[in-house]
Chain A
């Protein structure tokens, strides 16, 4: 089945540690995104990538880093510089370099990763 797989589903981290969240898609989508969701809030865009080896900062990129070495993969690293990293992280993809997500609504989401900093 085609879809987006995020791992791990739950992650605990001590302060000062970097952690990497995995996102893999087999939908052959060009664009991939990382969102952060805090309790009672909507989704805020961290980073997005419209093509391999290229990515752009979203609204809240500070303290995060990404890479896009393969079309299928868009890992997110939460660094120790992120002051308030406890949150629910959602990865998404869309079919056509970000444009189709607006025309068709085809933004596909993974199941999310919940990060808790102890």
Chain B
């Protein structure tokens, strides 16, 4: 059975801090790893990673994948209150379905 585990479960930081969110996985026939941000309702797509060691970057957010150690990290630098959300990691594997992790709830205090 495919498995995706995110850590920490929740995190409270102050504005300006840097945070690292973790996602580890055990899946058959890995194809891609995706990060989503869920603020209130609908998750929105952040990154898709398919190759090890290649950093994807968008503003203050960046992510990298390690296919040997089976994990990914999502970094957020200079956090802002608007970064407060649940961050979801999902892995696409055999059967073309996505398996989601439990999410990390990030709260950024002013």
User: Are A106 and B45 also in contact (CB < 8 A) when A40-B9, A101-B96 are?
Assistant: yes
A46, B81: Cα distance in complex, Å: 33
Q: In this assembly, does B41 line the interface, its C-beta being within 8 Å of a C-beta of chain A?
A: yes
- Interface contact B100-A105, CB-CB below 8 Å: no
- Interface contact A42-B45, CB-CB below 8 Å: no
Q: Please, how many residues of chain A have a CB less than 8 angstroms from a CB on the other chain?
A: 23
CB distance from A69 to the nearest CB of B (A): 23
A106: B residues at CB distance < 8 A: 45
Of B31, B44, B48, B103, the residue contacting A42 (CB under 8 A) is B103
- For chain A residues 30-45, which have a beta carbon within 8 Å of chain B? 35, 40-45
CB distance from A94 to the nearest CB of B (A): 9
B103: A residues at CB distance < 8 A: 40-42
A44: B residues at CB distance < 8 A: 100
A105: B residues at CB distance < 8 A: 32, 34, 45, 47-48
- Interface contact A107-B98, CB-CB below 8 Å: yes
Q: What are the interface flags for B4-27 relative to A under an 8 Å C-beta threshold, 1 for contact and 0 otherwise?
A: 101001000000000000000000
Q: In this assembly, does B88 line the interface, its C-beta being within 8 Å of a C-beta of chain A?
A: yes
A37, B90: Cα distance in complex, Å: 14
User: Are A40 and B48 also in contact (CB < 8 A) when A102-B96, A111-B42 are?
Assistant: no
Q: In this assembly, does A98 line the interface, its C-beta being within 8 Å of a C-beta of chain B?
A: yes
- Interface contact A112-B100, CB-CB below 8 Å: no
A42, B5: Cα distance in complex, Å: 10
CB distance from B66 to the nearest CB of A (A): 19
A107, B102: Cα distance in complex, Å: 18
Given contacts A42-B101, A105-B48, A110-B42, 20 further A-B pairs with CB under 8 A are A40-B105, A42-B4, A42-B6, A42-B90, A42-B103, A43-B43, A44-B100, A45-B98, A58-B97, A90-B42, A99-B96, A101-B92, A101-B96, A102-B32, A103-B32, A105-B32, A105-B34, A105-B45, A109-B44, A112-B41
The chain B residues found within 8 Å of chain A, CB to CB, are 4, 6, 9, 31-32, 34, 41-45, 47-48, 88, 90, 92, 96-98, 100-103, 105
